[in-house]
Structure 1
Amino acid sequence: MAEQDWLAERFDEHRAHLRSVAYRMLGSLHEAEDAVQESWLRLSRSDTGDVANLGGWLTTVTGRICLDMLRARGSRRERPLDVHVPDPIVSPADGVDPEQEALLAESVGLALYVVLETLTPAERLAFVLHDMFAVPFNDIAAMLGRSPDATKQLASRARARIRAGGPSPDADLARQQEAVQAFYDAARHGDFDALVALLDPQAAMHSDGGAAHPKITGVTRGAAAIAGRALMFANPDATVHPVLVNGAAGAVVTVDGRPVSVMGFTVTGGVIVAIDVLADVDRLGRLDLSWLAS
């Protein structure tokens, strides 16, 4: 077997892991693919004969690439300054396929990724690589050009932001789905009081309409305010498809078969504490949702 073929096989063994690292770092599925492809190019051009842990080496390389991409993204200011909902991973309501499980790893729900979007590139790298993938702080510090202690502080600040972002979804997926279905039923029937009862008083809804709908981009806080928006945007011609969004209960809303939003819910203690809405038509068009019609 040629050396490049052997190297490609070794790389493919780590591809799913690297996609998971890149998706957490970037919150974008197509950018994550670009980062993984760049990792392969760097591997193919490098002398790795002395590398004892290829998986660790590739994780570090992918982290560096993602860090550069985040910094470049910030310098171009290509993201809205108020709310950016990352690319959701949408699965059928009855389960996530193995490839998506590898991509999600142990993270559940879209809300975590919304909080990750608020971190600085250095904070995100320190938190993702250390807390999610157990990369030693010494290695991360070398990537950032900082001391290990300073890198630990970055991860600590990120952790505090994650905790402040709200609780994790209930472990009982059926209970999550019941709350989400009740939310849509109440919205369909115009039942404001029922909507308020389903929402935590301090619930927050993050909406990302993209360039086409900047007026709907923003944060709505409080049960009454969210219930009001749900009634305002209720569409009798819409079809609600129960799905999993990043492994938690959610929905894809379509009108005449065309996706108009993907909504991820965080249900804790049987009530909805967060809703994350992607209504950017350009980004929705890049998601593979063809299976919804089957």
Structure 2
Amino acid sequence: MASTKIWLLRLRSSQRLSLSVQMMWVGIVITLLFVLVALFAPTLQAWGWLQNPMTTLTNPIHEPPSAAHWFGTSRQGYDVFSRTLFGTRAALQVVVLATALSLVVGVPLGMLSGYLGGRLDRLLLFLMDTIYTLPGLLLSVTLAFVVGRGVLNAAIALSIAYVPQYYRVVRNHTVSVKTELFIEAAQAMGASTWTVLSRYLFLNVIQSVPVLFTLNAADAVLVLGGLGFLGLGLPEQTPEWGMDLRQALDALPTGIWWTALFPGLALTSLVVGLSLVGEGLNEFVNPLLRRE
């Protein structure tokens, strides 16, 4: 009886893992498609297959999707297809830079705080907990007012909201790992703090970082869209989904639906793709999630 129960639990776990793997691959395919679009959009424009996303058309405007303009044209005279594709490039540039900045800052701070402890640990905990309690979008909007528009400025505004997440995860892992025998042995042999952190701790405390990176990237896409919708993200006329949605808002009551539909679908699809990758990785990193 017990062996049958164990077999059923293993079967359920394998089925759930198989579904997670399938969904993760779906997310990888979606994300890779967006990456390819971001990489090759300038090439397609150079070949004459895409309109310049920042050039307004004198005629026609308000045109629905057609053979000449696959996603139609906007009220401002932009080609929506070109704006949507180049919006992918802008989104990935800001999101990758923002998550990379938060990782580069949060991981070392978490390792130092957890390993050294003491006043530094208490001070960083207080600072990170304070930042963590603030809503991410509200904090990003406030910072965007301070640093201004631009790819780097938008990335900085987004990254500060994610630093505490990397810090908390890495610090907690560091606190638990630093009491292991191999760490104590390295300390007894006279290894420096840098040697212990880089050689013995680093690879043991970053298991959850790839998961956090993808989930933060998905959230950053939404936050960047929110900044663009409020007119705080990238400079004017830059193809960016949130800004295009803002410009499309006034046209919706007049029946011009395509200017909002396609940027909105692109934003949602990229968020879904990154989220599926993150959730799939999470089940590999955390075996407890596979238990019934």
State the TM-score, normalized to the length of structure 2. Answer: 0.28
Relative to its length, the structure with more strand (as a share) is 1
State the TM-score, normalized to the length of structure 1. Answer: 0.28
- State the structure with bigger RCO (CA 8 A, min sep 6), 1 or 2: 2
Relative to its length, the structure with more helix (as a share) is 2
Task: Select the structure of larger CA radius of gyration.
Answer: 2
